[in-house]
Amino acid sequence: MSSPIRSCPELRIAVLACALAPTVASAASEASPPVPLPFETCRTDLIAWAASQAVPQGLAEAQLGSLTSDPEVLAATTSQGEFVRPLWDYIEASITPARIEAGRAKLADQAETFAAIEARYGVDRHILAAFWGVESSFGAVLDNPAVVKPVVRSLATLACGDPARAPYWRNELSAALQILAWNQAPLERMPGGLTGSWAGAMGHTQFMPSVYQRDAVDFDGDSKRDIWTSVPDALASTANYLRAHGWKPGEGWGSEALLPDGFDAALADETTPRTLTAWRALGVRPARPAAFPDEAAEATLILPAGIRGPAFLLRPNFAVILRYNTALAYALTVALLSDRLRGDPGLVCDWPRGDRVLTGDERRDLQTRLTERGFATGGVDGKIGPKTRAALRAFQGSIGLPADGYADPALLERIRGGPSTETQPK
Ligand code: CA
């Protein structure tokens, strides 16, 4: 890059690790969960409870009466635990050359459908295709018998076997039974019945049953909201979801940002919106100017892998992607895949590949020590979210380090026993 722009050197010393665990599936509880009831007892309770959820009793008995628990589903819940995978590993595993090629082929094959959905909902086709690719590899996973399961059995297994989140699973089970009761799904096209992932996410863009009830649409006009076998219905449902959650037509998600040398990392606080004009005055410019047709457009700046990794200017639509899945790794994957599908090149700045990731225990230790020193992390859950990153920035600033909010082993060492020269926050 030309001289005013910060260079993004390939790191040769292993000092950085990623603490943004892609907790894509579910939040784990810190406390020990209550002991589950025997499945048969719980199943009987569910049938009685379903009546209070406007589910016809005959349907509840037919769907639940002879069910057995699915051990694979329970195993999947416990394998979600401690992700220790760098952010860039997650992103790059999801944005492969094969997926980019497949996505561009789908955009060509389904061009009329995408155009009609864009016209109706104002959501860019490349974003929709990116969700489709990340959620189901453009529908390919729906043909994989190893990952497709009967939704009612999965959700009943979880409602009974995951007591810490039982209310959530019960609510989704109720929604699934209501879909069946109201004959909304095209069961005649689905020999396996209502099918989905082990966690009950259904169809091409993996809607949970409650999301299906609220946001799925019939776009191909056959009066069925078919997110399993109708690509127009599935993609329009996702567009409808995004629009209902605040997607602004004509605006993208943002862009990678190019930072000047000596940039003050504390400005990348994730929360302060500035106009593009104001960012330019600070030396920041978008790598993809087309993402900012308007200089008055506001964006926040984020450094998800610290000052030596790529920076991103995020428009309000990025927060809508996070509504689909709250993991930053997920949202960045959708955003960056959408750019690649559009034909844009990859990142200018490479990720800071190198050192290992903090373990869950280390992340909790970091949060505990930050909190003890007065830098509130909003709890000790082993997840480096916005509050923990804000606490890290305050701690780093107090000891004269670049305040990039990035948790790595060196920073943990520093707070565990390194030179203690920080001033206490107010
Ligand atoms: Ca339809």
Q: pLDDT tens digit string along 140-179?
A: 999 888 889 999 999 999 999 998 899 999 999 999 999 9
CA 226 to centroid of ligand 1, rounded, Å: 5
Residue 147 alpha carbon to ligand 1 centre in Å: 24
In angstroms, what is the span from residue 189 Cα to ligand 1's centroid? 12
DSSP code for 207? B
How far does the centroid of ligand 1 lie from the alpha carbon of residue 190, in Å?
Answer: 14
Q: What is the pLDDT of residue 72?
A: 94
More confident residue, 426 or 167: 167
- Please tell me which residue, 83 or 293, carries the higher pLDDT value: 293
Higher pLDDT, 192 or 159: 159
Instruction: Give me ligand 1 centre to Cα 231, in Å.
Output: 9
Q: Are 218 and 132 in contact (CB under 8 A)?
A: no
Q: Distance, CA 119 to ligand 1 centroid (Å)?
A: 18
Instruction: Using the mean position of ligand 1's atoms as its centre, give its distance from the Cα of residue 139 in Å.
Output: 16
User: What pLDDT is recorded for position 4?
Assistant: 44
Vertex 122 angle, CA 121 and 128, to 5°: 85
Q: What percent of the chain has pLDDT over 90?
A: 74
CA of 101 to the centre of ligand 1 (A): 27
Cα(389) to ligand 1 centroid in Å equals 44
Q: How confident is the model at residue 423 (pLDDT cuts 50, 70, 90)?
A: very low
- Ligand 1 centroid to 111 CA: how many Å? 18
What is the C-alpha R_g of the chain? 23
Query: In this structure, what DSSP letter does residue 411 have?
Result: H
Tell me how far apart the alpha carbons of residues 422 and 418 are, in angstroms, rounded to a whole number. Answer: 11
Tokens found for residue 56: 């016809």
* Cβ–Cβ < 8 Å for 100, 341: yes
Domains and CATH numbers, the chain: 39-74+148-226 (1.10.8.350), 360-416 (1.10.101.10)
Predicted confidence band of residue 24 (pLDDT cuts 50, 70, 90)? very low
Query: Tell me, what's the pLDDT at 8?
Result: 56
Distance 217 CA to ligand 1 centre (A): 7
* Strands annotated E in 237-279: 254-258, 274-275
The pLDDT tens digits of the residues spanning 301-354 come to 999 999 989 999 999 999 999 999 988 999 999 999 999 999 999 999 999 888
Say if residue 184's pLDDT is above 90: no
pLDDT confidence band for 32 (50 / 70 / 90) = low
The residue among 14 and 306 whose pLDDT is bigger is 306
Does residue 237 surpass a pLDDT of 50?
yes
The pLDDT tens digits for 44-91 are 999 999 989 989 999 999 999 999 999 999 998 876 544 568 899 999
**Spacing, Cα 29 to ligand 1 middle (Å):** 38
Q: The tokens 């810190």 sit on which residue? A: 30
Mean pLDDT of 18-32: 37
Question: What's the 105 CA to ligand 1 centre distance in angstroms?
Answer: 23
Residue 116's pLDDT band (boundaries 50, 70, 90)? very high
pLDDT at 225: 94
- Ligand 1 centre distance from Cα of residue 74 (Å): 33
Q: What is the pLDDT of residue 9?
A: 40
Q: Kindly give the distance from the C-alpha atom of residue 216 to the centroid of ligand 1, in angstroms, as a whole number.
A: 10
Instruction: Label residue 392 by pLDDT band (50, 70, 90).
Output: very high
**213 CA to centre of ligand 1 in angstroms:** 14
- pTM to 2 decimals? 0.87
What is the Å distance from ligand 1's center to 26 Cα? 30
- pLDDT tens string 243-287: 999 999 999 999 999 999 999 999 999 999 999 999 999 999 999
CA of 115 to the centre of ligand 1 (A): 17
Position 10 pLDDT exceeds 70: no
Confidence grade of residue 19 (pLDDT, cut at 50, 70, 90): very low
Six-digit token string for 261: 């040398």
Task: Evaluate whether 257 touches 282 at the Cβ level (below 8 Å).
Answer: no
Q: Looking up tokens 């639940």, which residue turns up?
A: 64
Instruction: Output the CA 215–ligand 1 centroid distance in Å.
Output: 13
Percent with pLDDT over 70 in the chain: 88
**Distance from residue 193's CA to the centre of ligand 1 (Å):** 17
Q: How far is the CA of 162 from the centre of ligand 1 (A)?
A: 34
**Total residues found in the chain within this entry:** 426
Kindly give the distance from the C-alpha atom of residue 232 to the centroid of ligand 1, in angstroms, as a whole number.
8
Average pLDDT, the chain: 88
Considering only CA atoms, which of 179, 168, 325, 169 is closest in space to residue 245? 325
List, in sequence order, every beta strand (DSSP E) within 276-376.
Answer: 285-286, 298-302, 311-314
Measured in Å, residue 223 CA sits from the centre of ligand 1 at: 5
Say how many Å lie between the CA of residue 67 and the centre of ligand 1.
Answer: 30
Q: Ligand 1 centre from 32 Cα, in Å?
A: 44
Q: Name the more confident of 194 and 421.
A: 194
Average pLDDT of the residues in 390-416: 93
The contacts of residue 40 (CB under 8 Å, 6+ apart) are none
CA of 230 to the centre of ligand 1 (A): 6
